[in-house]
Amino acid sequence: MAKPVVIWSPAYEVDIGPHVFPTAKYRMVRDRLLSEGVLDPADLVEAEPVTDEMLGLVHTPEYLEKVRENRFSAMERILLEVPFSIALADSSRICCGGTVQAARAAVRDGVAVHLGGGFHHAFPGHGEGFCVLNDVAVAAATLLEEGAVSRVLIVDLDVHHGNGTASIFADDRRVFTFSMHQERNYPHHKPPSDLDVGLDDGTGDAAYLAALRKHLVDIVERFRPEAALYLAGADPYREDQLGGLAVSAEGLRERDAFVLETLRNHGVGVAVTLAGGYAVRGADTVSIHVTTVTEAVRVFQGGSR
């Protein structure tokens, strides 16, 4: 059966030393998808770096110059919370390109996947929280700039609030930002999304899925997006080191299925990005991401549960 376009890059596995952010997960997810037969090597498309023009739709020229030349102040480095390097900058640029490719394919094919991306804490003029460049915002802005679509929905289900994305599109009515996250978690200051659903600590599967069901269909029917970008963060997982929503792996699978089927049933092309995931056991993070991709392939092929 036909498969969705799946974008990946070896550049995402950046050496950042001992760190809670497991950059090896991108390679491990890819390897698992191939070894389990979810994907064939021919299904994978390598990400290409984004153009400066596309980056300039979201980020300021001053910030892009800092990224290019590795000129950050001590404060900016602290805010980033991940050691900056030219390799990380290259990885971030390629990642933006990958999300753009996935977004274009989603508009064309209905579903596409990026085995990376979701760096929603990057603002126009600074990076923070492991995020250098906001690939999701760059992809949304690129689709609009190209005239491919006139309304884009961002469904951000990472456990952390999508502060950078919310800020970038605060005054842009063409983009609806929906963030459902753990309220008492990073980032402390949460610039308003178009809809923020801040959940309590230890929310658990039933209340988590009920909140999602309550809001997503309504947003899709009111805003009528022509494309969607989905941040399928693995960090709402109950054994995540940086998340406290107590959602099970099965709950996350139901979440992914619901998001993807809702969008498909409304004829909205969706590009999936992986976003966060910091489980105590790295293999759990990989499994959750693999399940997300498996659900995307199933929905692409027209399956229902």
Query: What residues between 35 and 74 interact with Zn ion by CB under 5 A?
Result: none
Q: Say whether residue 126 binds Zn ion (CB under 5 A).
A: no
Q: Which is nearer to Zn ion, 194 or 240 (CB)?
A: 240
**Which of 158, 194, 240, 254 touches Zn ion by CB under 5 A?**
158
Our answer to whether residue 121 is catalytic in this structure is: yes
**What residues contact 119, with CB distance under 8 A and at least 6 apart?**
92, 95, 130, 131, 132, 133, 134, 135, 136, 164
Binding segment (CB under 5 A) for Zn ion, from list 55-63, 149-157, 208-216, 268-276: 268-276
Q: Say whether residue 160 binds Zn ion (CB under 5 A).
A: yes
The distance from CA 299 to its chain's CA centroid, rounded to whole angstroms, is 18
Q: Which is nearer to Zn ion, 158 or 194 (CB)?
A: 158
**Which of 235, 254, 256, 284 touches Zn ion by CB under 5 A?**
235
CA distances in angstroms from 74 to 64, 83, 88, 89, listed in the order given: 17, 11, 17, 17
Q: Say whether residue 196 binds Zn ion (CB under 5 A).
A: no
Q: Which is nearer to Zn ion, 158 or 254 (CB)?
A: 158
Query: What residues between 275 and 294 interact with Zn ion by CB under 5 A?
Result: 276
**The 269-273 sheet, strands edge to edge:** 44-46, 5-8, 111-114, 269-273, 227-231, 152-156, 175-182, 195-199
**What residues contact 64, with CB distance under 8 A and at least 6 apart?**
52, 55, 56
| Minimum CB–partner distance for residue 271 and Zn ion (Å) | 18
Binding segment (CB under 5 A) for Zn ion, from list 91-99, 151-159, 193-201, 210-218: 151-159
Assess whether the previous peptide bond of 187 is cis (omega < 30° from 0).
Answer: yes
Residue nearest to Zn ion (CB): 276
For residues 63-91, one letter each, b for 16 or more C-beta atoms within 10 angstroms of the residue's C-beta and e for the rest, the string is bbebbeeeebeeeeeeebbbebeeebbeb
Catalytic member of 121, 126, 160, 289: 121
Binding segment (CB under 5 A) for Zn ion, from list 47-55, 200-208, 230-238, 280-288: 230-238
Chain residues that interact with Zn ion, rule: CB under 5 A: 158, 160, 233, 235, 276
Catalytic site residues? 121
